[in-house]
């Protein structure tokens, strides 16, 4: 299903869209929507206030533990799987594990040159992305790496995408120098600086009010109700950072 990935929906809208999509079997619709509502209950936030974005999901799922949520490991696994499904369904993304593709023989030959298991895993996810873009090793460039960075950060639940991206850049350039059969293309990951980018005072004021609401110190402006389960300060900070990053991409 094709969606406009330039617009980040809220979780309530995502639930409504999934619940009314006849292309998804009814039992799966019920299961996934239930898991998404469970995610909102774990956070103590109404689904309409939760952005359906990878950066937000990623910042919160590390806090989803049985001790903090009173949910079993298996149920939390279903919740995390549902979050990955949202990203795949709305934006063509994937969950924590990479979406498998048939690996091109040319990329497979490059992987044979990589001896370390962890290095192979880091490069393989990037290679799968390149294959889905119908690229060959000779087509890989800094532009492709930038596209992959945008994909990894915005539509996947990959843990610590920045670290993975730096590793790909380092490994690609290292093997380029070692093996003559490796494409003679040097990759350079663009450094995005937000130091010179400022959000409007009105936006920052809204963020401050929202943080106060999430902390349970201020009622919702429409319902006049306090949040059911206030978030920990660390969660609020992570959420505010995710919202600022989304806003920065629109500037």
pLDDT in tens, 78-97: 999 999 999 989 888 887 77
- Are residues 28 and 86 located together in one domain of the fold? yes
| Both tokens assigned to 38 | 């469970």
Quick check: 15 pLDDT over 90?
yes
In a domain, residue 114? The reply is yes
Say if residues 183 and 138 touch (Cβ distance below 8 Å): yes
Residue 194 structure tokens: 């937000």
Question: 2 in a domain, yes or no?
Answer: no
Burial degree of 160 (CB within 10 A; 0-12, 13-18, 19+): exposed
Task: Evaluate if residue 69 carries a pLDDT over 60.
Answer: yes
Residue recorded with tokens 């992959």: 148
Among 79-83, 154-158, 203-207, 216-220, top mean pLDDT goes to: 79-83
Mean pLDDT of the residues in the chain: 85
Q: Which of 88, 66, 54 is nearest to 160 (CA)?
A: 54
- Alpha carbon distance 184, 48 (integer Å): 48
Structural domains counted in the chain? 3
Tell me the mean pLDDT in the region 143-169.
89
Q: What is the pLDDT of residue 249?
A: 57
Between 115 and 47, residue with greater pLDDT: 47
Does 109 share its domain with 173? yes
Report whether 79 contacts 42 (CB < 8 A): yes
Mean pLDDT of the region 190-208: 67
Residue 191 lies in a domain: no
Are 50 and 149 within 8 A, CB to CB?
Answer: no
In-domain check, residue 193: no
**Residue-number span of the structural domain to which 237 is assigned:** 201-250
In a domain, residue 1? The reply is no
Lowest average pLDDT, out of 6-10, 64-68, 100-104, goes to 6-10
User: Do 42 and 71 meet the contact criterion of CB atoms below 8 Å apart?
Assistant: yes
- Over residues 233-243, the pLDDT tens digits come to 877 887 787 77
Q: Is 220 within the bounds of a domain?
A: yes
Angle at CA of residue 99, ends 40 and 110, nearest 5°: 145
Q: Which domain-ending residue is among 178, 193, 220?
A: 178
Question: Residue 35 domain-assigned?
Answer: yes
Residue 117 confidence (pLDDT) = 86
Which pLDDT score, from 0 to 100, does residue 251 have? 46
Q: Is 126 exposed, middle or buried (0-12, 13-18, 19+ CB in 10 A)?
A: buried
- Among left, alpha and beta (phi > 0; psi -120 to 50; other), residue 92 is left
């Amino acid at each position: 299903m094709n969606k406009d990935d330039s617009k980040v929906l809220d979780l309530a809208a995502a639930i409504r869209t999934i619940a009314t999509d006849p292309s998804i079997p009814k039992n799966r619709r019920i299961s996934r929507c239930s898991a998404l509502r469970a995610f909102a209950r774990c956070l103590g936030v109404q689904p309409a206030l939760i952005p359906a974005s990878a950066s937000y999901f990623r910042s919160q799922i590390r806090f989803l533990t049985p001790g903090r949520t009173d949910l079993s490991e298996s149920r939390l696994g279903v919740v995390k799987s549902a979050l990955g499904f949202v990203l795949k369904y709305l934006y063509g993304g994937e969950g924590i594990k990479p979406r498998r593709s048939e690996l091109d023989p040319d990329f497979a030959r490059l992987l044979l040159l990589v001896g370390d298991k962890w290095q192979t895993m880091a490069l393989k996810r990037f290679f799968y992305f390149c294959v889905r873009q119908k690229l060959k090793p000779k087509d890989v460039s800094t532009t492709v790496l930038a596209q992959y960075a945008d994909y990894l950060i915005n539509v996947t639940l990959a843990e610590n995408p920045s670290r993975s991206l730096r590793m790909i850049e380092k490994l690609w350039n290292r093997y380029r120098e070692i093996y003559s059969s490796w494409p003679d293309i040097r990759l350079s990951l663009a450094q995005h600086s937000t130091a010179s980018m400022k959000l409007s005072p009105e936006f920052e004021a809204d963020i401050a009010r929202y943080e106060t609401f999430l902390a349970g110190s201020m009622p919702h402006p429409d319902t006049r109700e306090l949040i059911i389960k206030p978030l920990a300060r660390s969660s609020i900070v992570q959420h505010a950072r995710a919202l600022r990053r989304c806003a920065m991409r629109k500037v």
